[in-house]
């Protein structure tokens, strides 16, 4: 699905005028966002929408936390798509499993360190725990999706 189609579906849920009023933008701009926009076609009726702009920010900066933040605001989290295949099932499966165990260990270490000094978990410590938890969720989900996609199967030669 294209970005303008996603925005059109979202706008239809509340109505373009209501969305525009809530965002303090003109309905015309919202309509433009919901139309296809071709960067190389000056006659295209659409305009670059916020989703396209976020995609470009991530492409230019390579800073995935932009997407992670947006996912968190929507009540979820971002997970990278796993590699399509592994070169050596024994090595890659072992490394993936070790990575998962290491991520879990880092979370446990952060919790232990937070409690060890005073028996409480302070706000700054909970922020570090959150960071480790987000990394663990991503690592675990990537591992499970890799398994589901059959990435760790032996390939016939």
Digit-coded pLDDT (tens) for 56-105:
999 999 998 899 899 989 998 887 776 656 667 667 888 889 989 999 99
Instruction: Give per-residue pLDDT as tens, 17-57.
Output: 999 999 999 999 999 999 987 766 655 666 789 999 999 99
How far, in Å, are 41, 46, 102, 130 from residue 113 at the CA level?
Answer: 56, 52, 16, 14
Least confident piece of the model among 4-18, 105-119, 141-155: 141-155
How far is it, in rounded angstroms, from Cα 14 to Cα 17?
8
The pTM score is 0.62
Question: Largest alpha-carbon pair distance within the chain?
Answer: 64
**What confidence tier does 116 reach under pLDDT thresholds 50, 70, 90?**
very high
User: What DSSP state is assigned to residue 45?
Assistant: S
Residue 78: strand, helix, or coil = coil
């Amino acid at each position: 699905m294209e970005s303008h189609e996603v925005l059109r579906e979202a706008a239809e849920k509340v109505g373009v005028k209501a969305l525009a009023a809530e965002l303090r933008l003109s309905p015309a701009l919202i309509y433009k966002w919901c139309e296809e926009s071709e960067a190389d076609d000056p006659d295209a009726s659409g305009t670059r929408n916020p989703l396209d702009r976020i995609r470009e920010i991530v492409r230019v900066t390579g800073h995935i936390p932009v997407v992670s933040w947006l996912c968190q605001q929507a009540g979820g989290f971002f997970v990278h798509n796993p590699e399509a295949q592994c070169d050596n099932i024994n090595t890659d499966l072992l490394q993936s499993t070790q990575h998962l165990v290491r991520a879990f260990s880092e979370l446990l270490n952060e919790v232990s360190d937070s409690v060890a000094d005073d028996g409480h978990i302070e706000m700054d410590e909970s922020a570090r725990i959150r960071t480790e938890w987000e990394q663990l969720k991503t690592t675990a989900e990537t591992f499970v999706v890799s398994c589901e996609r059959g990435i760790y199967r032996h390939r016939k030669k």
